[in-house]
Amino acid sequence: MVNRESRLREKLEPIRDRYHYILIDCPPALDLLTLNAMVAADSILIPMQCEFFALEGVSQLLDTLDRVRESFGSQIKVEGVLLTMYDDRTNLTRQVEQDLRQFFENNVFRTVIPRSIRLAEAPSFGKPIIAYDVRSRGAECYIQLAKEILAHEQGTGQTTQSAR
Q: Is residue 125 domain-resident?
A: no
Q: Is residue 37 domain-resident?
A: yes
Q: Is residue 77 domain-resident?
A: yes
Q: How far apart are the first and last CA of the chain?
A: 46
Question: Reduced to 3 states, what is the DSSP secondary structure of residue 85?
Answer: strand
Residues paired with residue 80 on neighbouring β-strands, in sequence order: 45
Q: Is residue 154 domain-resident?
A: no
Q: Which of 104-108, 118-122, 123-127 has the lowest mean pLDDT?
A: 104-108
* CATH code of the domain containing 17: 3.40.50.300
Q: Which of 1-5, 112-116, 130-134, 155-159 has the lowest mean pLDDT?
A: 155-159
Q: What is the pLDDT of residues 66-75, one digit of tens each?
A: 999 999 989 9
Q: What is the DSSP code string of 14-46? A: GGGGG-S-------SS-SHHHHHHHHH-SEEEE
Cα–Cα distances in Å, from 137 out to 2, 66, 121, 162? 46, 36, 13, 10
Q: Is residue 51 domain-resident?
A: yes
Q: What is the amino acid identity at position 133? A: D
| Number of domains making up the chain | 1
pLDDT > 90 fraction of the chain, expressed in percent and rounded: 73
CB 46 within 8 A of CB 80: yes
pTM: 0.86
What pLDDT score was predicted for residue 108?
A: 96
Dist. CA 79–CA 162, nearest whole Å: 18
CB 4 within 8 A of CB 32: yes
Q: Is residue 120 domain-resident?
A: no
Q: Is residue 25 domain-resident?
A: yes
Q: Is residue 161 domain-resident?
A: no
Q: What is the pLDDT of residues 4-25, one digit of tens each?
A: 999 999 999 999 999 999 999 9
Give the chain's mean pLDDT: 90
Q: What is the amino acid identity at position 98? A: Q
Range of the domain at 103: 4-115
Average pLDDT over residues 125-146: 96
CB 53 within 8 A of CB 28: no
